[in-house]
């Protein structure tokens, strides 16, 4: 199954770049032609870049690491949240807070504060507070949820970043580069592709194009999770086979035990012979003792 088709890229308007006067010369290798003062992106190179990015995301998730979806522009906010939640990954779609990667220790404190406020709202703590205090805490929780809600459960730095519009998310790009975190990013004709590990040339302004790119990355995550699930199933299958072999060995031993029991019942086993010998070796005195004991009980 193809990761993406040329038809879907054309229908989403991925090939439309910016005006010629707004281009970044470093994007020259990804530009196919110029039409009516607008650069047209080479979709052949876009498809190849998507495949490379898809494999990178899939391998990252298979290795047990997470993906952070980043897109704070209005056109990207809804798609980023929807697709990140669909594949069970983290996202930032309102505002990139400085130090979200380089100062993650401080960000974790804010995340703990958010969780604490949510717990206070549920466990009845608010019932003992005044309306003014409740209002203040509610506003604090809403602000934290707006900026950090998408990474609330993120306990460590992500394995890879997916970014829409590297110009607008310049701080996120700089932090990821500083922390040596790979970057998958959609780069338009006015962006700088240098420093991006997996640049995807394409339109980063059209909602349909942004949605398509985000869906592809989310699909890579889902596929990696499915592969992990299949590996678990295969492992369980191998364990079942091993267990079946063990049970077969046990049944064989039980069959041997049944043969021993039959032999014992027929008096042919060593144990039967030994017991028979012990019975035969009872002395007359012991027999008299047994008789005397029986008589004692009868007399009583």
Q: Half-sphere exposure of 6 toward its Cβ, with a 13 Å CA cutoff?
A: 5
Q: What is the pLDDT of residue 286?
A: 45
Assign a CATH topology to domain 6-98+157-231. Rossmann fold (3.40.50)
Q: What is the pLDDT of residue 232?
A: 58
- Spatial contact of 157 and 105, defined as CB atoms under 8 Å apart: no
How far is Cα 277 from Cα 300, in angstroms, rounded to an integer?
Answer: 34
Distance of CA 106 to the CA centre of its chain: 24
Cα-only R_g, the chain = 36
Q: What is the pLDDT of residue 150?
A: 94
Residue 120 tokens, joined: 């206070």
Which tens digits make up the pLDDT trace of 186-234? 999 999 999 999 999 999 999 999 999 999 999 999 999 887 666 656 5
What pTM did the predictor assign?
0.75
Higher pLDDT, 248 or 94: 94
Which tens digits make up the pLDDT trace of 42-80? 999 999 999 999 999 999 999 999 999 999 999 999 999
Residue 145 reports pLDDT greater than 70? yes
Residue 47 tokens, joined: 């498809």
Residue 23 tokens, joined: 């281009």
How far is Cα 236 from Cα 244, in angstroms, rounded to an integer?
Answer: 12
- Spatial contact of 159 and 180, defined as CB atoms under 8 Å apart: no
Pick the CATH number of 102-156 from 3.30.160, 3.10.450, 3.30.1050, 1.10.287: 1.10.287
Q: What is the pLDDT of residue 226?
A: 87
The structural domains of the chain, with segments of one domain joined by +, span 6-98+157-231, 102-156, 267-299
């Amino acid at each position: 199954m193809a990761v993406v088709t040329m038809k879907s890229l054309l229908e989403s308007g991925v090939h439309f770049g910016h005006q010629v006067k707004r281009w970044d010369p470093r994007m020259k290798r990804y530009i196919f032609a110029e039409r009516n003062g607008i650069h047209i992106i080479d979709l052949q190179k876009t498809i190849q870049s998507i495949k490379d990015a898809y494999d990178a995301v899939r391998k990252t998730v298979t290795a047990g690491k997470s993906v952070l979806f980043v897109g704070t522009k209005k056109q990207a906010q809804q798609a980023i949240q929807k697709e990140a939640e669909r594949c069970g990954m983290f996202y930032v779609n309102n505002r990139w807070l400085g130090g979200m990667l380089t100062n993650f220790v401080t960000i974790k404190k804010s995340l703990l504060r958010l969780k604490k406020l949510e717990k206070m709202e549920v466990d009845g703590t608010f019932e003992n507070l005044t309306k003014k205090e409740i209002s203040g805490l509610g506003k604090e929780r809403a602000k934290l949820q707006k900026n950090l809600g998408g990474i609330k459960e993120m306990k460590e730095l992500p394995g890879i970043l997916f970014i829409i519009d590297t110009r607008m998310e310049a701080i996120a790009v700089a932090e990821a580069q500083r922390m040596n975190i790979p970057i998958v990013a959609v780069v338009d004709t006015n962006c700088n592709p240098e420093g991006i590990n997996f640049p995807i040339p394409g339109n980063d302004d059209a909602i349909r194009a942004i949605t398509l790119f985000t869906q592809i990355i989310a699909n890579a995550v889902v596929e990696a999770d499915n592969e992990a699930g299949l590996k678990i199933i295969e492992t369980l299958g191998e364990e079942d086979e091993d267990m079946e072999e063990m049970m077969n060995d046990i049944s064989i031993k039980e069959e041997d035990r049944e043969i021993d029991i039959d032999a014992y019942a027929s008096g042919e086993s060593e144990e039967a012979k030994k017991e028979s010998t012990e019975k035969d070796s009872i002395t007359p005195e012991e027999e008299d003792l047994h008789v005397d004991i029986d008589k004692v009980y009868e007399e009583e």
